[in-house]
Structure 1
Amino acid sequence: MAGGLFFISAFCGHIFLVFLVFWIFQLNRQYYILNYMIVRDRYAPSPTGLQHIGGVRTALFNYLFARSMGGKFLLRLEDTDRTRFDQSFVENLYDTFNWLGMKWDEGPDIGGPAAPYIQSERTETYKKYALELIEKDKAYLCFCSAERIDKIRQEREAAHSKGPSGSHATGYDRFCRSIPREEAEKRAAAGEAHTIRLKIPLGETTRFTDHLLGDIEWKNDDVNPDPVLLKSDGFPTYHLANVVDDHLMEITHVLRAQEWLSSTPLHVIMYQAFGWEHPEFCHLPMVNGLDGKKLSKRHGATSIDEFRRQGYLPEALINYVALVGASYEEGKDIYTLEELAERFSLDKLSKASGIFDYKKLEWYNGQYIRMKSDDELAFLTLPLAVEAGLFGSRGSEPNPEQKKIYLLAMPLVKERAVFLKEIPEKLTFLFREIELPPVEEFFPKKMSREETAGLLIKGRDLIAPMALAASDAEAEDCIKAWAEKEGVKLGDIMMPIRVAITGARVSPPLFGSLRILGAEKSLARTDKAIALLS
């Protein structure tokens, strides 16, 4: 008897322990997902255009999340839109991310266990799973022509009528949903053109949890009515390919822009139809301009190619874009890609749209330019200088002497430059004979032409000593002592000398410019200016 009681007690204890473990697991499921499972996320662009800021921000957040969790970041090309596909856009994608320094762990160019990573190479897989849904009575064959569907849509829009099942959708009327399966299969076997459509469960509500937005409910009547899964040409639609690939590639987290939120109920319905568990969803905040509207060309550059042409550094773009809609650490602005990955967290994302401020991006670019060594900056900007014809005709490479001067000039422009392309422009006066501007440009405030000419004639004796000075401090002491002796304001003598040497009132630092140009050339330019003024 005692033994039996002991057995029952032990059994109940084990049952209690099992329930306790299950309860604790359920409470900590999210913690488990984020800390113990191998995180796999992806960037899945459609190669129908150049890579732009919005897409790169999505890719960056996926990259940072995978790195922060010790997981895998995948690239998948969703190229099922064959009418807009262009191979040049694929090359642009590879070039963009190579320039940005972001590497994926699996992808079309490097392979991986879930290959192929190009959807146009996976069409047989999609067909297999579309047919599987027909077998499960979760999908059906549709024989409606594009003309019929367009006509229905136009009639509904004109009448402002509701769609099927009382929804406000203006899409398909589910005309073929009631065709018996045997009849449909005979028609398909006879060669009648058809698509495969998903059966949306009617009168139900689809629920899912978004990491950023919380619990979401969506009436199925408001979901796109029975969308096409497989087109008549055998190619899948985005929705089928996306769901099948995410499942087969074992994607654990889907981080994408909030504009895709309305597609998520449909995807959840498809996961349920297959009997699969869907990934964790996190719909990222949108990227808007300062006017609060979605970022577009009217705000400025949006394609990464445009930013590159304007002279932005990849580090600056990465650093700034990572901050649009996310936070990392108080009191810190500059992060390397590795530091961003260490600090990234889904919990630090903002629900509100991120504001893309071009002025802030310019500030970041200037900071990263100043962080470059002179050798690095010369290396980065030399191709721009060659293209601009700084060393002769357009495309001419510099000779050894010109290359030496160009490197010496980097400190002159580093502190004030915002864009890389500015640097060759600001140094033109060192490599070409300048055209003197109108005489008014030489005049200090409240000085006449005659007074300016006289001042420059007197100051001519300063040119050689300043050009031969060992440092800026020595040159500055020289001109300060002269100005004090002559009773002249320092700015009044600096202005006409600056314009004579560089051809502009705003230029790189004067003392360094004189030193690089040399005493002989500097004196020749000064004499030319005196002749103009006299």
Structure 2
Amino acid sequence: MTVRTPVRTRFAPSPTGYLHLGGARTALYSWAYARHFGGTFILRIEDTDLERSTPEAVQAILDGMQWLGLSHDEGPFYQMQRMDRYREVVKGMLEAGTAYLCYCSPAEVEAMRERMRASGEKPRYDGTWRPEPGKALPDVPAGVTPVVRFKNPLDGEVTWNDVVKGPITIANKELDDLIIARPDGTPTYNFCVSVDDWDMQITHVLRGDDHVNNTPRQINILRALGAELPQYGHLPMILGADGQKLSKRHGAVSVMEYPEQGYLPEAMLNYLARLGWSHGDDEIFSMEQFTEWFNLEHLTASAAQFNPEKLAWLNNHYIKAADNERLAGLVRPKMESKGAQFDGSPALPAVLALVKDRANTTGELADAAMLFFRQPQPDAALLTQHLTDAVRPALASFAERCQTVEWNKAALAAMLKDVLAAHSLKMPQIAMPLRLLVTGQLQTPAIDAVLELFGRETVLTRVAKGL
């Protein structure tokens, strides 16, 4: 596949809702393709739907892009700030004869379509006001403000080689003369997109396959403008694990809910990259590797399925690899909300280094770390069960030797073995009561590592309560 250079891609969401997984994947692929070729990635906000577009949705898109680290090179451009440009192009098309004024009311157009449905034809605008050589147009009705329609070719076909789906052909007779400007002069979606892609010199358009039917209309408008066509690629939708359309039940929520749920952006990016693209059997890779590998040839035409277990597995990998200081910044607010006491406690990054291996989210990581940042409240029945008369002398010996032992994991492990040997006990017999007294629970990481982090003074104070 030949590549037009310099590569210029765009992500053009409508701010009528949050940035969801499908949109984030589209943004990622467009960003990566531009980065692969050293090109330009453009962010464009298609905000002409005034009834549904909101500033909050715009901010949600910008926040999602920032969290994912998908930085744009140009923009964000807002279509509502480009109205003068659209009107200029409409005027030029009217003068060139590639667009015309139509005075039909919406009711008249609907009546046309009803007649066509009744006769078994595809419902469409019938071209009443379309100028043709030798054709007499109706008299202009008084008091009616016209719309502007694009003069779509009547014959032939629109064909493009979709970089995801392969060759697609749609007959022009399937397309009616699209309204490109409403009576109040505001332009319509397909027209704005075409002008924007032309002005911004977009070379590659990657978007969801719900836009396939828009593409022939946009191609015809671009051809009428004398513009070079971009390459189009339509990505299949993302399905839930049950094969149904992605819904909130599956995870079709705002991308910004994922950091709230404890996911790292690098895990989300890695996961999204594999939802429709592959590089052999590689499952885990950095964004540097991804942009080096990414191409359009390995995009898949089949729908991808969202698998929350796979995302959690990836997140666990990235949590284990993450800098502990960074993790501390993410989990500390979660722990504070749970009543964590940080004064006189172990260093949080050191605790996270110990407990992060089994955490799938930063929420689970915060839960695992809490045992180091709250006062232990061991269950009385468990203490009775594990703190037996046979164990107390060994525990006293342990406490005595704690006064002088070098306070590190290796020295503590060796000292525990000596105490066990001296009292003819096995490790669980002293480890269980130690865990209860020091942490308040029976399940903890390795006891020597736990003791090291709590520190000599805290361990001695808590063990003394059991003697």
Q: TM-score when scaled to structure 1? A: 0.77
Alignment of 1:249-264 (within 5 A): 249-264=200-215
Aligned to 1:135: 95
Contact persistence 2:128–2:137 (CA under 8 A): no
Letter of the structure 2 residue corresponding to residue 293 of structure 1: Q
Query: Which of 367, 370, 381 lines up with 1:425 in the alignment?
Result: 367
* CA distance, structure 2, for counterparts of residue 235 and residue 146 of structure 1: 16
- The verdict on how the C-alpha distance between 1:120 and 1:483 changes in structure 2, with shifts beyond 3 A counting, is same
TM-aligned CA distance change 1:239 to 1:456, over 3 Å: farther
The Cα of 1:500 is off from its aligned counterpart by 3.6
Q: Are 2:279 and 1:319 aligned?
A: no
CA distance in 1: counterparts of 2:441 and 2:107, whole angstroms: 66
Q: Which moved more, 1:341-350 or 1:519-528?
A: 519-528
1:478 CA displacement: 3.7
Distance 1:122 1:299 in 2: 37
**After superposition, what is the alpha-carbon deviation per residue over 1:451-487, rounded to whole angstroms, capped at 9, x for unaligned?**
6644653553365357955333333344445556655
Residue aligning to 2:162:
210
Q: What is residue 24 of structure 1 aligned with on the other side?
A: none
Residue by residue over 1:21-44, the C-alpha shift from the partner in whole angstroms, topping out at 9 and shown as x without a partner, is xxxxxxxxx43x35xx21111111
SS in 2 for 1:415: helix
Instruction: Name the counterpart of 1:490.
Output: 427
Q: Which residue of 2 aligns with 1:25?
A: none
CA distance in 2, matches of 1:152, 1:456: 93
Decide whether the 8 Å contact of 1:143 with 1:176 is kept in 2: no
| 1:119 aligned onto 2:49 | no
Q: Which residue of 2 aligns with 1:71?
A: 39
Q: Gaps (5+ residues) in structure 2?
A: none
Bigger shift: 141-150 or 367-376?
Answer: 141-150
Mapped to 2, the partners of 1:212 and 1:327 lie a distance apart of 13
Report the number of matched residues.
Answer: 463
Q: For residues 97 and 438 of structure 1, what CA distance do their matches in structure 2 show? A: 51
**Does the aligned pair in 2 maintain the 1:412–1:508 contact within 8 Å?**
yes
Provide the residue aligned with 1:413 in structure 2: 355
- Residue matched to 1:457: 392
Is 1:513 aligned to residue 460 of structure 2? no
Aligned to 2:21: 53
Residue segments in structure 1 that go unaligned for 5+ positions in a row: 1-29, 109-116, 392-397, 444-448
8 A Cα contact 1:53 1:302, kept in partner: yes
Distance in 1 between residues matched to 2:227 and 2:427, nearest whole Å: 78
- Residues in 1 aligned to 2:390 and 2:46: alpha-carbon distance in whole angstroms: 70
Does the CA-based 8 Å contact 1:58-1:256 persist in structure 2? yes
Shifted more, 414-423 versus 256-265: the winner is 414-423
8 Å contact 2:420–2:426 — kept in the other structure?
yes
1:107 to partner: Cα distance: 0.7
SS at match of 1:216: strand
- Bigger drift between 364-373 and 496-505 goes to 496-505
Q: What is aligned with 1:38?
A: 6
Taking only the aligned residue pairs, the percentage that are identical comes to: 33
Measured against aligned partners, the alpha-carbon deviations of 1:246-268 in whole angstroms (never above 9, x if no partner) come to 01111111111222112212212
| 1:247 match | 198
Structure 1 CA distance for aligned equivalents of residues 88 and 309 of structure 2: 51
- Cα offsets for 1:48-101 (capped at 9, x unmatched): 222222111111111111111121111111110111111122222222222222
Q: Compared with structure 1, are the counterparts of its residues 78 and 344 closer, same or farther at alpha carbon in structure 2 (3 Å cutoff)?
A: same
What's 1:232 paired with? 183
Partner of 2:89: helix, strand, or coil?
Answer: helix
- AA in 2 matched with 1:423: L
In structure 1, which of residues 257, 279, 297 is the aligned counterpart of residue 230 of structure 2? Answer: 279
Q: Which has the higher helix share?
A: 1
Provide the secondary structure at the position in 2 that maps to 1:76.
Answer: strand
Distance in 2 (CA, whole Å) between partners of 1:477 and 1:64 is 52
Please provide the CA RMSD for this pair: 3.3
Are 2:33 and 1:81 equivalent residues in the alignment? Answer: no
Letter in 1 for 2:91: L
Task: Please tell me the residue identity of whatever aligns with 1:515.
Answer: E
